[in-house]
Structure 1
Amino acid sequence: MHVTGCEVFLVALPSRREHTWASKMETPIGHHAIVRLDTDEGLSGWGESPAIATWGGAHGRFYGETPETVKHMVEAYLVPAIRGVDPAEIAIVHARMDKVVKGNPYAKAAVDIACYDIAGKAQGVPVSTLLGGRLRDGIEVAHSLGIMEIDRCIAEAEQAIAEGARTIKCKTGLDPERDVELVRRLRETAGDAVRIRVDGNEGYRTVAEAVETTKRQEEYGIFLCEQPLAGVEALARVAERIDVPVMADESAWTAHDILELHELGAAECFSCYVTKPGGLHRARQQAEFAAVLGMYHDIGGSIEMGIGNAANLHLGAAMPLAILPSVCPVTKPAGAPGPEIAGVYYLDDVVAAPFRFEDGKVMVPDGPGLGVEVDVEKLARYAV
């Protein structure tokens, strides 16, 4: 079987509400690139890239992509480089892509996911099997509260908890007083049974501000402080002075970043994406290398649609130290059963069937490949 070509779709899903964070206050979520990769045997696979122009690493180390740049890179460089390659030979796929394009991990991730989808379909096994085997059937959902006024955050958290969410993730980083008050109010409302994590998305201005804010939040029982400010050295200085673990996100794109974080003592854990390293192949390498160093992780992302979310879940199912509650959406097409708030960020999706949500977890899709059926009519309906 050989890759013969592709088609790239630019789509924008309607969101349930605005979802913002400290480094992304204006760009809407849900404007993604969807890739269909085709083969000479008539088998096709699907990939997704939730590229965001404002999403990157500290100090220009990694920089933003957009759905439009993904489309260009996939069509003009990546697929021509792998035409004729067996999509199951994923290391060769990556070697070919890396030879023609530096960086651009979100574009490469979309192709990588589609290759895994094809390989799984061809072999009649789920992607999690190709990644080493399924260690868990679902990922605990961390329901993410974007930066909103506190009363709105509390009301949404109450609804999400009532629907089964057991972890709430608070987006923070712009206003320390608001961030402390939000955690206080949330703990007061939710009680001790709900876990709370905070994510500054590099928003705090100084180490002192990040440390003081986090210490005040610790009084109300947070269990994780994610990327409070930019830079590995700054993270290390925060980690020395707070009690809860620091999680790296914007500072953890590659396996090389994991080594740097470990050597500087900057983070106990990290947010493992399919997309930041450039696909499932690289994400598995990053997670397994981190495990050797004793670093555990969640499964991070950029509020993917059903295709990308399925890839996230297969990765999370197969990685031994993917043990943290994660912002993996509860994918749900319009009119489908399931929660209305908990893990739900869009009013519709491009996949035909909803993902199961049980006991606070979103379950890994069954079936070969990614285990999803793409609704091509939705690709046309939401075309950009």
Structure 2
Amino acid sequence: MKIIAVTTWQLDLPLRRPYLLSGGRLKFESLDSTFVRVDTDAGVSGWGEGCPWGNNYLPAHGPGVRAGIATLAHKLLGQDPRSLDAINRTMDIALPGHLYVKSAIDVACWDILGKVTGMPLWRLLGGTVADPVAVNSSISTGTTDEMIALIRGEYSEGYRTHSAKVGGSDPITDIARIEAIELALKPDEKVTYDVNRAWLPGVAIQVLNNVSVRGWIEQPCETLQQCAQVARRVRQPIMLDECLHTFEDHLQAWRLDAFAGVKVKPNRVGGLTRARQIRDFGLSVGWQMHIEDVGGSALADTAAVHLASSTPAANRLASWLCQHHLAVDPVHGQGARNVVGFASPPTAPGLGVEPSLAALGAPVSVFR
């Protein structure tokens, strides 16, 4: 089996409402997503999606996905997509770094492998059943009343875990906001307070030593070292996110012996091949993990849910679904969806999501 074509489509994914994070310094209204189809000489095709969360959240952006794929595509023609490690080595030689570019191609190759073996991705990734995965909401930065209202609305849709975006330079404001949210929670729900790098270490220590929470604190500061400084001086468990891109980053986080959990995002780390390696390392060191993608439609969400579903329940925290925030649904009704607070991966072979060409429109590029 050989790759004979790589085709890309660009799609704007407007959000249902503006979304603010990192203390309000980052605002997003639409996402730039790239859909990728890898075709083979056996008549089997695979799909992937690369969708950074805007242009200023991480060192990744939509046009960069497509430019990178243009660099990689001709190197992949003639390769066997089932040889996932070889595919990733080919991409690394052709384009060092730029992991977010490679993720959609990697997922598309996994989709092909699942289809030709007749197995869904959750089984190929180590699962024994299509285990439903708890899903968490994501609460945009706002006033305390606005954030509590959003939490109550998400609770009515089955969410019992929430990710509330806090952060800023005023510790008093964040202390008051966190305390009010905690008081408003029902007994069966909890919140991860996601700072998205907005605090300096001194601010983080002030805030966290003056509040009591039942959930996690996520990425309080910009760097791994700053987060470790905070983690050693507070009682809440600290989860890492934006400072983790490579396996080496995760290894360094473990060596610091300060963190209890991480987020594993296939789009950020290079696709399912590397995300699985990181997941397995997390299992070996006892981490708990949110396994979800950076952004995108239900196609990207579903790839991450396959990996989450195949992860032992003790190590698996809730997964976020970006689709919940979108005003459009380019893979209507397909893939992992929130059903009373849980999402199940498809049981069909491969990824289990096939975008319609009518929804995607004309391709941006075709490499043969």
Q: Is 2:143 the partner of 1:149?
A: yes
Q: Is 2:238 the partner of 1:240?
A: no
Assess if the C-alpha contact under 8 Å between 1:13 and 1:382 holds in 2: no
| Structure with more contact order per residue of length (Cα contacts < 8 Å, sep ≥ 6) | 2
Picking from 158, 163, 179, the partner of 1:184 is 179
Aligned to 1:140: 134
Aligned to 1:121: 115
> 1:66-105 to 2 correspondence within 5 Å?
66-75=61-70, 77-105=71-99
Q: Following TM superposition, by how much is the alpha carbon of 1:14 offset from its aligned partner in structure 2, in angstroms?
A: 2.6
Aligned to 1:65: 60
Aligned counterparts of 2:147 and 2:140: Cα–Cα separation in 1: 8
Assess if the C-alpha contact under 8 Å between 2:20 and 2:27 holds in 1: yes
Aligned-residue sequence identity (percent) comes to 28
Picking from 319, 333, 339, the partner of 1:326 is 319
Structure with greater strand percent? 2
Distance 1:202 1:98, change over 3 A: same
> 1:287-302 to 2 correspondence within 5 Å?
287-302=279-294
* Superposition CA RMSD, Å: 2.1
Assess if the C-alpha contact under 8 Å between 1:272 and 1:298 holds in 2: yes
Assess if the C-alpha contact under 8 Å between 2:130 and 2:344 holds in 1: no
> 1:255-266 to 2 correspondence within 5 Å?
255-266=247-258
Moved over 6 A (4+): none
3-state DSSP of counterpart to 2:216: strand
Distance 1:135 1:233, change over 3 A: farther
Q: Is 2:304 the partner of 1:304?
A: no
Aligned counterparts of 1:223 and 1:135: Cα–Cα separation in 2: 28
Aligned counterparts of 1:44 and 1:142: Cα–Cα separation in 2: 32
Aligned counterparts of 2:338 and 2:362: Cα–Cα separation in 1: 26
Residue ranges of structure 1 left out of the alignment (5+ in a row): 57-63, 332-343
3-state DSSP of counterpart to 2:269: coil
Of stretches 316-325 and 195-204 in structure 1, the one that deviates more from structure 2 is 316-325
Aligned to 1:317: 309
Q: Following TM superposition, by how much is the alpha carbon of 1:136 offset from its aligned partner in structure 2, in angstroms?
A: 5.4
> 1:272-283 to 2 correspondence within 5 Å?
272-283=264-275
Distance 1:309 1:293, change over 3 A: same
Query: Once the two structures are superposed, what CA deviation does each residue of 1:202-221 show, in whole Å capped at 9, x if it has no partner?
Result: 1102x12101112333x2x2
Question: How high is the TM-score relative to the length of structure 1?
Answer: 0.88
Q: Is 2:49 the partner of 1:48?
A: yes
Distance 1:300 1:313, change over 3 A: closer
Aligned counterparts of 2:88 and 2:3: Cα–Cα separation in 1: 14
Q: Following TM superposition, by how much is the alpha carbon of 1:359 offset from its aligned partner in structure 2, in angstroms?
A: 4.1
Aligned counterparts of 1:201 and 1:40: Cα–Cα separation in 2: 44
3-state DSSP of counterpart to 1:169: strand
Distance 1:381 1:134, change over 3 A: farther
Count how many residue pairs are aligned between Structure 1 and Structure 2. 359
Query: Once the two structures are superposed, what CA deviation does each residue of 1:24-83 show, in whole Å capped at 9, x if it has no partner?
Result: 613434321111111112221111111243233xxxxxxx122111111112x2221111
Assess if the C-alpha contact under 8 Å between 2:309 and 2:344 holds in 1: no
Aligned to 2:354: 373
Q: Following TM superposition, by how much is the alpha carbon of 1:251 offset from its aligned partner in structure 2, in angstroms?
A: 2.0
Residue ranges of structure 2 left out of the alignment (5+ in a row): none
Q: Following TM superposition, by how much is the alpha carbon of 1:237 offset from its aligned partner in structure 2, in angstroms?
A: 1.3
Q: Following TM superposition, by how much is the alpha carbon of 1:262 offset from its aligned partner in structure 2, in angstroms?
A: 1.4
